[in-house]
Structure 1
Amino acid sequence: MAGLVSPDEAVLSIVGEDAVHRVAGLPGESGPVGLTLALGRLRALGVSGLRVALPAPGHPLGLSGPAEFNARALDAEEAVVCVGAALGLVPEVAEAGPAGDVHVSVTWHCLPVREAPPADVPSLGEAERELAEALREATVALTRLDVAGSGPVADAAVSAYRARAEGSGQEMLAPGYPQRAVRVLALAQRVDLLVTLAYEKGHGGAVAASEMAARAEALRPVERVARRALVAAYNAAVEDREREV
């Protein structure tokens, strides 16, 4: 949308290893169309950028309404909101094929959205500060509960993540993003990974229902902060361009 890469290059990056992505409900089209045509159509409709939304129950992060779009985005736990046109895209993922040879296809449903500021999205600076504070607080709480994601499995997962992050660098985001967004994204992904490990691997002494509830209570705000930071990082390029206008 910023003209920094060709439509074909953008489509290859979006699709990745999926079989196909198509867009349904696009204004001016009678049926689903491929991503290359869809991106061109969106630009013709005045779209100058795309924002990501990562809503969760009770937290419509990145959404601006109306209720129908918010409900579908919440079901999918993700959506894309267009900048410059009152449109949003919600993915529907389908899998087919035998085990070991599963093909993934995605249909993006284009729906009207309300043109308003997205809900609860922090600036990059706010996101970075919140992440550091939340990580400190959660580490103290989880250590006290003896349920922190630690041990060989957690260490191996974090090491693997660090290797990927260090190897990719700026490639973690598309061209045109500020370096701070790369840094915030890397930290948010690491915090998100540690939260996942604490949920899945960090049982430690949390065997009673009350202890497991205490662990969830300690992790919930960290998980929320990590999602807010992810959205701030992914939307940073659009925010920068809007400030320049």
Structure 2
Amino acid sequence: MLKEPRSGRLASWGNALLAGLVPPDDVAVAVVGEDAAHRVSGLPGEPAPVGLTLALGRLRTLGTTGLLVALPAPGHPLGLSGPPEFNARALDAGEAVVCHGAALGLVPEVREAGPAGDVHVDVVWHVLPVRPAPPADVPSLGEAERELAEALRDATAVLSRLDVAGSGPVAEAAIDAYRARAEAGREVLAPGYPPRAVRVLELAQRVGLLVEIAQENGHGGAMSASEMAARAEALRPVRRTARRAQVAAYNAVVEERERGKR
């Protein structure tokens, strides 16, 4: 959860491009990030994979007015609307981008090559048809913010009860990494997003950090299999809430624009 999903970068910066707030080259650099390259395959009218800049321009001509994020998990098709083939591919990847205004979606395929310590990551976004319907289980920003406040309390309580919070080198390293990223003044979302969306996304990432600490940092008092299962069960709704909030934040620009039309 600490790591920004690639679908979030593509949707966030793609929305800024569609709104005319950033130039195409800046978008490509921001979306690729630390990866080696991103290509888009299966784009209507393009027989071969193309670069991000060309792909986003073509999606605009195909009617795309915004990009939405989906972060599905088993039993939770968050942000998806079908059909089954697209949902299955998105679930396998754990993420996807859905085009608002065009019945298309993009699912990333991540390819790694090279020796340990010098791994190059290439990403191919596969374009597939989607069903033009409301995405599943995406809350409003207000709902997400309220749910996150409760989830943060729940996560902290679980960590404290299991004697995990703030203990051990893994927990300390995770917290230090989070603080370093925040202090670096990183751009959480691309230009054009409301401050509330930035706040919700940052809080969702913090909640996700606590879940990671609980799962990866020792076992505290939960040494038996049954106690480990109980911990996982207690944290499952917290993780789900954080994922829902992430999607709400990334989709805020499109959702707010659509509400303004009503």
TM range (shorter): over 0.9
| Residue in structure 2 matched with residue 30 of structure 1 by the alignment | 47
AA paired with 2:233? E
Q: Does 1:9 align with 2:63?
A: no
**Conserved 8 A contact 1:121-1:228:** yes
For residue 147 of structure 1, report the CA deviation from its aligned partner.
4.0
**Conserved 8 A contact 2:151-2:207:** no
AA paired with 1:162? R
| Residue in structure 1 matched with residue 208 of structure 2 by the alignment | 192
AA paired with 2:246? L
Q: Does 1:78 align with 2:95?
A: yes
| Residue in structure 1 matched with residue 219 of structure 2 by the alignment | 203
| Residue in structure 2 matched with residue 108 of structure 1 by the alignment | 125
Q: Does 1:229 align with 2:245?
A: yes
Task: Provide the C-alpha distance between the structure 1 equivalents of 2:210 and 2:166, rounded to a whole number of angstroms.
Answer: 6
Task: Provide the C-alpha distance between the structure 2 equivalents of 1:229 and 1:166, rounded to a whole number of angstroms.
Answer: 22
Task: Provide the C-alpha distance between the structure 2 equivalents of 1:3 and 1:91, rounded to a whole number of angstroms.
Answer: 25
Task: Provide the C-alpha distance between the structure 2 equivalents of 1:73 and 1:149, rounded to a whole number of angstroms.
Answer: 34
Deviates more, 1:233-242 or 1:149-158: 149-158
Q: Does 1:141 align with 2:163?
A: no
Q: 1:81 to 1:236 in 2, by over 3 A?
A: same
For residue 152 of structure 1, report the CA deviation from its aligned partner.
4.6
Q: 1:141 to 1:160 in 2, by over 3 A?
A: closer
For structure 2, the 5+ residue unaligned runs are 1-17
Secondary structure of 1:133's aligned partner:
helix
Q: Does 1:158 align with 2:175?
A: yes
Taking structure 1 as the reference length, the TM-score comes to 0.95
Question: 56, 59, 70: which one pairs with 2:73?
Answer: 56
**Conserved 8 A contact 1:192-1:223:** yes
Taking structure 2 as the reference length, the TM-score comes to 0.89
For residue 146 of structure 1, report the CA deviation from its aligned partner.
3.1
Task: Provide the C-alpha distance between the structure 1 equivalents of 2:218 and 2:204, rounded to a whole number of angstroms.
Answer: 19
For residue 9 of structure 1, report the CA deviation from its aligned partner.
1.1
Deviates more, 1:221-230 or 1:2-11: 2-11
Secondary structure of 2:184's aligned partner:
helix
**Conserved 8 A contact 1:149-1:201:** no
RMSD across aligned positions (CA): 1.4
Task: Provide the C-alpha distance between the structure 1 equivalents of 2:194 and 2:240, rounded to a whole number of angstroms.
Answer: 23
AA paired with 1:200? E
**Conserved 8 A contact 1:54-1:79:** yes
AA paired with 2:217? K
AA paired with 1:98? P
For structure 1, the 5+ residue unaligned runs are none
Task: Provide the C-alpha distance between the structure 2 equivalents of 1:242 and 1:126, rounded to a whole number of angstroms.
Answer: 17
Identity, % of aligned pairs? 79
Provide the aligned length of Structure 1 versus Structure 2: 244
| Residue in structure 1 matched with residue 5 of structure 2 by the alignment | none
| Residue in structure 1 matched with residue 148 of structure 2 by the alignment | 131
AA paired with 2:211? V
AA paired with 1:234? Y
Q: 1:237 to 1:202 in 2, by over 3 A?
A: farther
What do the CA deviations read for 1:42-87 (whole angstroms, capped 9, x no partner)? 0111101101110000000000100000000000000000011000
| Residue in structure 2 matched with residue 238 of structure 1 by the alignment | 254
AA paired with 1:26? L
AA paired with 1:71? A
| Residue in structure 2 matched with residue 180 of structure 1 by the alignment | 196
